[in-house]
Each structure stands twice: as structure tokens, then as C-alpha cells.
Structure 1
Amino acid sequence: MPKIVDHDARRREIVAAVWALIARSGLDGVTMRDLAAEAGYSNGALAPYFRDKDEILRAAFQYAVECTDARARQAIGDATGLVALRRLCHEIMPLDETRLLEARVVVAFWGRALHDPRMAAVHASALDEWRQRMTGCLAQARAAGEVAGGVPDEQSADTLLAALAGFQVNALLIPHATTPARQRAALEGLLASL
């Protein structure tokens, strides 16, 4: 009887192996051979799941976004307005080892997305989703009287997204100056300016 393979589980295992390699060696250190070894498969066993390295990297990026979104949904729960916005931002920010690893994957992905329209589209889709959620939270906050300024919600969301991207880069490059406490303080300053 042929062995039944859970293809989704196998794809997740391969993505987890990519994350481990990126964490240890950076994106340039990821080879198909090393990836297969890390995942515990033969090199040819990757082919049915991913055509090439770029497809694997897209999957790793998408998985990072999905993990962030799942955490954010749980953290936000029934909250609205600025509470929900703050919780969403916290899940994107590299405040612990898990989110710092996600930042490594995301920042590595950005370099490839600069020259690959398919990867850029994946990134744009994720940011559009987060921008939409942020503007929704800001509209709720405005309706509840939590936000009084005249800055359009879309502009505030863009400012927050730029800050969050900066936190991800800086937490990797200058971790001593981008501690979780400093990130939270900077976010609070931005939210207070609203």
C-alpha cells in the first residue's frame, strides 16, 4: 500500500527548515541541498512542493505574514480602536525571539522582492491588508473620540507601517538600540501624536 503523505504538513516542514537556515546563515546561505538536509529529505524530494528557491522564499514570507496575522487576531480579540491598533502593531514588531526570526525572514525577502515582481506583489498584498486593518482601527478610534487630529487615517497608517518596517530592520542591525522597550516607547509616541 502506498504511503499517504500530508502535502501541507510537508510544505510547512520545508518552510520551517528555511526559517532555521535564514536564522543561522542569512538568505544567501540557503541552498536547495542545505534546505533538503535541514528538512530531512533528499534534494529531489523538494521538487513536488517548490519549483525553486524563490518559490520557497515566497512561502517562507507568506508563512511569516500568516503567523503574524494569526497572533494579531488572537491578541486583538474583541478590542477596537487604539487598543486593537496597538495590539496589531505589537504583533508585527520584533519584540521577542519568534518575531525577531520573522523579521529576519521578512528583511531577507525584501532584498529579493526589489528585483522580482512576484515577490513584490506578495509583499504589497500583505502591507495592503495591514494598512486596511490599521485604517479600520483608526476609524473606530476616531468615532470613539480616541483620535482627534486632522491627519487622514491612511496617512497615519502609512506612518505606522514605515515605523514598523524600521523596527524590523533596526532590531536586526542595531539590536542594542532597538530593544523591545524602546520600540514600545516609540510606538506610544506615534499613537499619542494622533
Structure 2
Amino acid sequence: MPKIVDHDARRREIIEAVWALIARRGLDAVTMRDLAAEAGYANGALTGYFRNKDEILLAAFQHAFESTNVRARESIADATGLPALRLLCLEIMPLDDVRLMEARVVIAFWDRAVHDDRMAGVHENAMAAWREQMCGYLQQARRQGDIGTQSPDDEVVDTLLAALMGFQINAVLLPHATTPRRQEAVLDGLLGSLPS
């Protein structure tokens, strides 16, 4: 009887291997041979799941955003308004080992995205989705009477996204100065200014 292979599970294993390699050695050091070895496959066996290295890297980049979104949906659940906005931000922020690894992966891909339209599209789509979600939570908060500031929602979201991306960079490059406590304090300061 032929062995049944779960292609989606295998693709996830390969993506996890990519993440581990990038976190340890950086994006430029990732080769197909290294990927195969990290994932426990013979060299050349990855082509049964991905056509080439670029396709693997694109999937790994997209998976970082998808992982964040899955956690955010679970964390937010039925929350609305400012509490929901805060929960979304917390899932994007590198506050633990998992989210820090995601930050390392995403940062490694940013330079590549500047020169690769498909990767740029993944980043643009993720930012657009988060922007829409954040604006929705801000509108809920306004309807609930929890926001008094006259700052347009787009400006508030611009500030939040800039802070979140900054947290990712600084947590990777300056971890001693970008502790989870300090990140949360900055976020709470930003959100705390909205009711006034």
C-alpha cells in the first residue's frame, strides 16, 4: 500500500526549517542543500513541494504574517474597539521567542522585497490587512465613545504601524533596550493618548 503524504504538513516543515536557518545564519546563507538538510530531506527532494528556492522563501515570508494573524484571531476573539486593537498590536510585537523569530524572518526579507515584486506584494497585502483591521477597531472605539482625539484614524494607524515595525527591528538589534515591558509601555502610552 503506498504511503500517504500530507503535502501541507511537509510544506510547513520546510518553512519551519527556513525560519530556523534564517534566524541562525541570515537569509543570504540559505541554500537549497542547507534547507534540505535542515528539514531532514535528501538534496533535491524539496522540489516535490516547492519548485525552487524563491518559492520556498516566498512561502516562508507569507507564513510569518499568517502565523501572526492566526494568533491574533485567537487572542482577540470577541473583543472590540481599543482592547481588540491592543491585542492585535501585541501579536505583531516581538514579545516572546516565537514572535522574535518571526521578526528576524520578516526583517531578513524586507531587503529582498525591495527587489522582488512578489515579496513586496506579500508585505503590502499584510500591511493593508492590518491597516484595515486597525481602522475598524478605531471606528468601533469611536462609536463606543472611547476615543476623543480628533486625529484621523489613518494617522493613528500610521503611528502604530511605525512603532510596531520599529519594535521588530529594535528587538532584534537592540534586545537589551527593547524589552517586552518597554514595548508594552510604549504601546499603552500611544493607545492611552487616544481617549483625550
- Into which bin does the TM-score normalised by the smaller protein fall? over 0.9
Give, in whole Å, the separation in 2 of the partners of 1:54 and 1:165.
24
Cα-to-partner distance string for 1:36-80 (whole Å, 9 max, x where unaligned): 001011121111222222211111111111111111111111110
2:91 alignment partner in structure 1? 91
- Equivalent position of 2:160 in the other structure: 160
CA distance in 2 between counterparts of 1:23 and 1:104 reads: 6
Matches within 5 A, 1:92-111: 92-111=92-111
Question: Following superposition of structure 1 onto structure 2, how do residues 1-194 of structure 1 map, counting pairs within 5 Å?
Answer: 1-194=1-194
Amino acid aligned to 1:45: A
Moved more, 96-105 or 61-70: 61-70
State whether residues 62 and 122 of structure 2, in contact with CA within 8 Å, keep that contact through their aligned partners in structure 1.
yes
**Mapped partners of 1:130, 1:113: distance in 2:** 18
- Answer whether contact 2:33 2:43 (CA < 8 A) is retained: yes
Counterpart-to-counterpart distance in 2, 1:55 and 1:152:
39
Report the Cα distance in structure 1 between the residues aligned to 2:154 and 2:130, rounded to whole angstroms. Answer: 11
Q: CA deviation at 1:5?
A: 1.4
**Equivalent AA in structure 1 for residue 82 of structure 2:** L
| Distance (Å, rounded) in 2 between the aligned partners of 1:81 and 1:127 | 19
Q: Deviations over 1:6-60 (max 9, x none)?
A: 1111100100101111111111221110000010111211112222222111111
Runs of 4+ with >6 A deviation: none
What is the letter of the counterpart of residue 16 of structure 2? A
Say if 2:23 and 2:104, in contact at 8 Å, map to a contact too.
yes
How many Å separate the matches in 1 of 2:50 and 2:155? 38
Q: Distance in 1 between matches of 2:63 and 2:48?
A: 19
1:140-179: CA deviations, max 9, x gaps?
0111111111111122112111110000000001111111
Amino acid at match of 1:47: T
Deviation, structure 1 residue 193: 2.2
Percent of aligned positions with the same letter in both sequences?
70
Aligned positions, number: 194
Q: Scaled by the length of structure 1, what TM-score is found?
A: 0.97
Distance 2:78 2:111 in 1: 36
1:170 and 1:32 mapped to 2: Cα distance?
A: 30
In 1, Cα distance between equivalents of 2:120 and 2:51: 18
TM-score calculated relative to the size of structure 2: 0.96
* Partner Cα distance (1:52, 1:166) in 2: 32
Give structure 1 stretches of 5+ with no counterpart: none
